[in-house]
Amino acid sequence: MAKSASQSAEKYASRSSAAAGDFVSGAQSTTKDQAAAAIAAAAIYGQATQASIADGRYQKGLQKSGKAGWLKGITDKGGNRYAEGVSQAAGDYATESARFDSARGAAASLPRGIKGSPQNLQRVAAVVAAQIKVKTGK
């Protein structure tokens, strides 16, 4: 007799904790470059994403979970993982953000005006242009 979906899910969940070490060692020992493979498949990813949207699969998946599913994921898992994830990413965030330090100061020498003034819009435009230059190199 075949296992039910519930039995299969239970077996999958119970065996996955034992396989966690295999998962990590497999990733550490592979000779494949996942980033290079993903970059090489960018066009296929884009086509597949657009096809998913065009035929409604993207929307159907979101509707199936809905806000309740999203909130359940945050409540059951996300809340506990949030602080740890932010803590682990803090160094990367600081490094990436530091690239934009000079861009954030691009308006320092420009005059300030009253709220909504052309001078303030020029300050905003200067900062945005500097940030784009840092991000794109152009």
Q: Are 105 and 82 in contact (CB under 8 A)?
A: no
- Asked whether residue 33 is domain-assigned, the answer is no
Q: Are 110 and 122 in contact (CB under 8 A)?
A: yes
User: What region, left, alpha or beta, does residue 32 occupy, with left being phi > 0 and alpha being psi -120 to 50 degrees?
Assistant: beta
> Is the pTM higher than 0.85?
no
Over the stretch 92-134, which tens digit does the pLDDT of each residue have? 999 999 999 999 999 999 999 999 999 999 999 999 999 999 9
- Asked whether residue 106 is domain-assigned, the answer is yes
- Asked whether residue 94 is domain-assigned, the answer is no
pLDDT over 90 (residue 6):
no
- Asked whether residue 114 is domain-assigned, the answer is yes
- Asked whether residue 116 is domain-assigned, the answer is yes
- Asked whether residue 118 is domain-assigned, the answer is yes
- Per-residue pLDDT, averaged over 72-80, amounts to 93
- Per-residue pLDDT, averaged over 73-100, amounts to 92
Domain that holds residue 119: 99-138
With bands split at pLDDT 50, 70 and 90, how would you rate the model's confidence at 15?
confident
- Asked whether residue 121 is domain-assigned, the answer is yes
User: What region, left, alpha or beta, does residue 53 occupy, with left being phi > 0 and alpha being psi -120 to 50 degrees?
Assistant: alpha
- Asked whether residue 105 is domain-assigned, the answer is yes
Domain tally, the chain: 1
